[in-house]
Amino acid sequence: MSRPIRQSSRLSAKRNLVPTVPITVPPARQNKRQKTVTQASAPAKPSVPRVDDFRKVKGRRGKLRLMTEIPVDTLLEVFSHVEPLDLLHLSWATKDLHALINASRNSFLWTRAYENLQIRRPPACPPGKNIAHYTNLLFGRACQYCGTNQVGKVIHWAALVRLCSRCAPDKLLHAWGPDIDQQIAPLCPSQWISKSGLPRTCYVIKSDYERHKQKLAQCKDEAQKVEYKAKAHADKQATHTASQLCDQWYRSQEINRLSTAEIIRRKRRDAIIAKLQDAGYAEELRYGSINFLPIVRVPAELTEKAWDKMKDELIDLMEYKRQEMRKANITHALQLRVNTLDRVIQSTMADHFILPHTSYIATREPFQALFKALPLEERVTEEQMRALATPEMILQMTETWRREADILLLGLLSKLPVLPNAEEAIDRTPLELATTFFKCNWCTEPISYPRILMHRCLRHRRSKEPDEEEDDDDRGSLDSGADGEEVEAMEAENDNEQPTRNTVRTEVTMDSVWNNMSSWFRSGWNEGNDQIFVDEEATNFAKKIVEACGEDPNTTTFTRMEELNPRLECVRCSAKSKTKTRNRPVMNWTTALLHDIEIHYEDTPSTSPGWKLLTDATDISAAAQAESKMGKKWRWSTRKCNRCPCFVMESSLNAHLRQSHNLNFGEDEDMKLHYHLPLDTTLKRAPYSVRI
């Protein structure tokens, strides 16, 4: 067994004293020249890592390191030609420059700086105020508490202090706060502030308040307090006079700055408009203003370099406006033609209750070819349209459209497993039943047949909005929402970048506008064929009501129920009545249907009787008397005149026929031949429910 080599404890201890180079410390920078000595003459020293102070400094260095080597007289001469804000920034550059500029013997630099101003000179610096702080208050943007890290937008003019939004809540006190001594607060300069998220109220500087509080606490008697308060009031009054002058000067400069910026913006806008007019877009500029585009409202003169950068985007915008102008012109011309056709149809077919939508007729020949072939400037007169839109042609188109609509509705009812041929007749019996009800996407009320064919929602609403969205990238930063300063900064940063254009322009044609008729006229009936569905709830309730009337729900039609006009009593509501007289609700069959849907929607239709048909003559007479009595308070539905497209209240029908059509009637039966109840009339109409 070998023994370990014997070592000296003194040498091992000496080796342990040599520090090791930590991994996290960067290696020392090698010198350019290193003097070499022999190992015997030089003692052994541990290689301690060298900490490089040069690497601790961040940012650019060395720009002003030689400035202090310039003769002082030369520096002072140069600094005497700058303005106050520039002199302030120079004093912040280095410690040496700060000491040089703010030295008392060089105070003339600030006087010269204020004399160099090209604008109206501000008031003189108040006594006791540091000139550098005063310059920052008037011209600078730095917070006087946290330095230059935050922009000081809150100015307390009464105390001549500029603060940032972060320091303001901590450095300001509410002058009328509950914890504020009202004997001390009047000694502090106060200012009404409503910026930077602060509550809109009066504020004092916290340090001033604490200083006055401490001074008053040190006073030995009341006489010293009175003397101190008088002195504090005098100082406050002197500061108040100076602060008012500074505030007025600052506000006037803000107004001048804004007016100057607006003048520059107008010159820039006029220059851009002139260049666009030279490019051939004078008409497009009248179609829409470009004054509110961010790149136009930049407060900077228009240079050729800036124009080259924005030219492509503005031209894309002008091309877009050109297409929009053409689209508007085509739309206006087509609207006039289709409206003329609509007036002719309404006047010619006034006595027909079921008609297709005007857009359906307009998109059929020969109207479609005529509307699209005529020049935009040419209009179609009603005489020309009457000669073309004959009643026979309109009736033929009506039959075709109604056949298509009936096939669609029968398909929803699952009563049409196979589509019929063009010559094959359609059995409309399932549609005409009193238990057949539909619903649209917007209404909650059940809709019967043939009311569903003339329902307003299906003829005047669009199921889907037209594809009118444009690619936002086509116009780049035009609609980015950036303000003028941000756009100006982006222009400065991207001076060397070339814009990329990936614009795809869609040419507006007569066909493209015509195919999108629902966006500028009215949509066709059930556009998209996805706006109608079967109302199963109303169908189930209607079956029980028809059975209560003693009719067969599989064969009884809606017209048959209207002819019967029965009166039914809601047994469920009568049983819940707690009055001694036990008022019974009585209503007609359509009101009973709505009553079930609105009141008894949780009751599933079952074999138990929910309705009772009034058969007793006394009950029927009582219901008629109650309806006659309540009829004076009810609002009755409007009627449509058979001789014109007018809708008239029932009480004004006689006057309308006499004044508009020179017809006089003595009996209501004769007058009823000249008006009708519009097909798309709600079921919720008089007579309503009464109690007997």
Residue 103 lies in a domain: yes
CB contact at 8 A, 290 and 452: no
Judge if 468 and 602 occupy the same domain.
no
pLDDT at 398 over 80: yes
pLDDT at 669 over 70: no
Residue 612 lies in a domain: yes
Judge if 317 and 417 occupy the same domain.
yes
- Written as six digits, the tokens of 148 are 């230059």
Judge if 365 and 506 occupy the same domain.
yes
What pLDDT was estimated at residue 662? 80
Judge if 114 and 129 occupy the same domain.
yes
| Neighbouring C-beta atoms of residue 45, cutoff 10 Å | 7
Judge if 223 and 288 occupy the same domain.
no
Mean of the pLDDT values across residues 340-354? 84
Fill in the DSSP letter of residue 49. Answer: P
Q: 197-251, pLDDT tens digit by residue?
A: 788 889 999 999 999 989 898 888 889 989 998 999 888 888 888 899 999 999 9
Of the residues 500, 534, 568, the one at which a domain ends: 534
Mean of the pLDDT values across residues 640-661? 77
Residue 298 lies in a domain: yes
Place of tokens 């077919």: 349
Of the residues 512, 534, 556, the one at which a domain ends: 534
Mean of the pLDDT values across residues 121-148? 87
What pLDDT was estimated at residue 262? 92
Q: 27-45, pLDDT tens digit by residue?
A: 555 555 655 555 555 555 5
- For the chain, the first-to-last Cα distance in angstroms comes to 125
Q: In whole angstroms, give the CA distance from residue 93 to residue 79.
A: 13
- Which of 434-443, 569-578, 620-629 has the lowest average pLDDT? 569-578
What pLDDT was estimated at residue 68? 74
Judge if 547 and 687 occupy the same domain.
yes
- Which of 151-155, 312-316, 629-633 has the lowest average pLDDT? 629-633
Q: 482-494, pLDDT tens digit by residue?
A: 444 444 444 444 4
- Which of 62-66, 197-201, 289-293 has the lowest average pLDDT? 62-66
Look at the pTM and tell me if it is higher than 0.75.
no
Judge if 380 and 484 occupy the same domain.
yes
Residue 655 lies in a domain: no
What pLDDT was estimated at residue 488? 47
Tell me how many degrees the CA angle 574-577-583 measures, rounded to the nearest 5.
70
In the structure, what pLDDT confidence band is assigned to residue 580 with cuts at 50, 70 and 90?
low
Residue 612's φ and ψ, nearest 5 degrees, are -130, 125
Judge if 431 and 290 occupy the same domain.
yes
User: Over pLDDT 70: what percentage of the chain?
Assistant: 79
Residue 307 lies in a domain: yes
- CA-based torsion, 583, 584, 587, 593: positive or negative: positive
pLDDT at 534 over 80: yes
Q: In whole angstroms, give the CA distance from residue 449 to residue 429.
A: 10
pLDDT at 150 over 80: no
Long-range Cβ contacts of 458-462 (<8 Å, 24+ apart): 458/525, 458/526, 458/531, 458/532, 459/357, 459/522, 459/523, 459/524, 459/525, 460/522, 460/523, 461/523, 461/531, 462/518, 462/519, 462/523, 462/527
pLDDT at 642 over 80: no
What pLDDT was estimated at residue 44? 54
Which letter, b or e, does each residue of 419-428 get, where b requires 16 or more Cβ atoms within 10 Å of its Cβ? Answer: eeeeeeeeeb
Tell me how many degrees the CA angle 469-474-477 measures, rounded to the nearest 5.
110
83 exposure class (CB count in 10 Å sphere: 0-12, 13-18, 19+): middle
Q: In whole angstroms, give the CA distance from residue 190 to residue 156.
A: 8
Place of tokens 């569903």: 452
What is the strand order of the sheet 611-613 is part of? 611-613, 568-570, 585-587, 690-691
pLDDT at 304 over 90: yes
Q: Which domain holds residue 394?
A: 279-534
- CA-based torsion, 199, 203, 207, 212: positive or negative: negative
Judge if 194 and 82 occupy the same domain.
yes
- Written as six digits, the tokens of 486 are 């941000």
pLDDT at 59 over 70: no
Mean of the pLDDT values across residues 258-277? 93
What pLDDT was estimated at residue 491? 47
Mean of the pLDDT values across residues 604-609? 62
Judge if 502 and 597 occupy the same domain.
no
pLDDT at 524 over 60: yes
Judge if 342 and 476 occupy the same domain.
yes
What pLDDT was estimated at residue 268? 93
Judge if 227 and 99 occupy the same domain.
yes
Residue 242 lies in a domain: yes
pLDDT at 472 over 50: no
Q: How many domains does the chain have?
A: 3
Of the residues 534, 555, 588, the one at which a domain ends: 534
